[in-house]
Amino acid sequence: MKILLKLSLPTILASLLVACGGSSNLATSFTQQTAVSYRVTLTNTTAAQPFSPAAIVLHDGSWSTFNLGDPASTELEMLAESGDNSALLAAAENMAGVFNAASGTGDIGPGESESIEVEVTESQTAILSLSLVSMLVNTNDAIAALNRIDISALNPNESMRVNALSYDTGTEANTETAATMPGPAAAGGAQEGFNAARDDVRDSVFVHAGVVTATDGLTTSALSSIHRWDHPAIQIRVERLN
């Protein structure tokens, strides 16, 4: 709603004021005529990697959460190291090209699903892309993400399925220790979340290589073989509801 008003209010107000003579119900009329809802359903396909609350952004083709091969933003680093999506969502909502953004309500456990609905205006559907980010919390800085997926071809009541790759944000060394991972596998350790230091093999986003785990010889790891995963870590269904 906030986004709808921000983008189009002057034009809409002008036309409705002429037509209705100053109705007190402007926003409601406007929403009924132009809001289009999308439902994004995420399914966690890992064995034992809970996902942090998802950040979902609907935007045009010019915006993106990250660029593969470039350093992650600080906001993305926060999400990838701690699972906290608030900084990323706050930054996105103030950026040109972003139409609307939403957060999931909580963690998504292995095998679980969550549906999140987001609205844009009718005119925005013609140039609409979806981005989505969520942390694999039993890792140092792994995310599953969709990066600028074009969904403009969806007509009302159509849906599509997309699989998300998982990425290493390259912001934290993959020590897999209980001191450095926020997830339940690190219970009993310090479970540090965000730390501004960047100490991985290189400071850029790349496709995740998976975790080694203590089972496979990384003696400092708090993880075991069940925490390994492969792509896709999340399966996503995108439905245009109207």
Partner 1 sequence: MLINHLGRPATQLSDTTTNSSSTTSTEKNNILKRFIAKSNKYLIASTLSALAPMASAVDFDITIDNITRGLYFTPIAVVAHAANVNLFVSGVSASTELQTMAKTGEIEDLARVLTSSGATMDNNPAAGLLAPGAAATSTLDTINATANTKLSIVAMVLPSNDGFVGLNAVDIPTEPGTYTFYANAYDAGTEANDELRGGGGLNTPGFPVPGPLNPVLGTGGAGVTNTIEGFVHIHRGNLGDTNTAGGISDINSAVQRWLNPVARITVTVR
Q: Report the interface residues with partner 1, using CB under 8 A.
A: 61, 68-69, 146-150, 152-154, 158, 160-166, 168, 174, 201-202, 204, 206-210, 212, 216-219, 230-232
Q: Quick one: CA dihedral 227, 185, 67, 150, positive or negative?
A: positive
- CB-based contact 102:118 (threshold 8 Å): yes
- Pick 190 or 207: Cβ nearer partner 1: 207
User: CB of residue 144 vs partner 1: minimum separation in angstroms?
Assistant: 11
Q: Closest by alpha carbon to 227, among 170, 174, 148, 151?
A: 174
How many CA atoms, within 13 angstroms, populate the side-chain half-sphere of residue 35? 17
- Pick 98 or 234: Cβ nearer partner 1: 234
User: CB of residue 120 vs partner 1: minimum separation in angstroms?
Assistant: 17
User: CB of residue 184 vs partner 1: minimum separation in angstroms?
Assistant: 22
User: CB of residue 128 vs partner 1: minimum separation in angstroms?
Assistant: 12
How far is it, in rounded angstroms, from Cα 198 to Cα 193? 13
How far is it, in rounded angstroms, from Cα 63 to Cα 65? 7
User: CB of residue 196 vs partner 1: minimum separation in angstroms?
Assistant: 21
User: CB of residue 221 vs partner 1: minimum separation in angstroms?
Assistant: 9
- Pick 106 or 156: Cβ nearer partner 1: 156
- CB-based contact 102:34 (threshold 8 Å): no
- Pick 58 or 87: Cβ nearer partner 1: 58
- Pick 100 or 131: Cβ nearer partner 1: 131
- Pick 70 or 112: Cβ nearer partner 1: 70
The burial class, CB within 10 Å (0-12 / 13-18 / 19+), for 41 is: middle
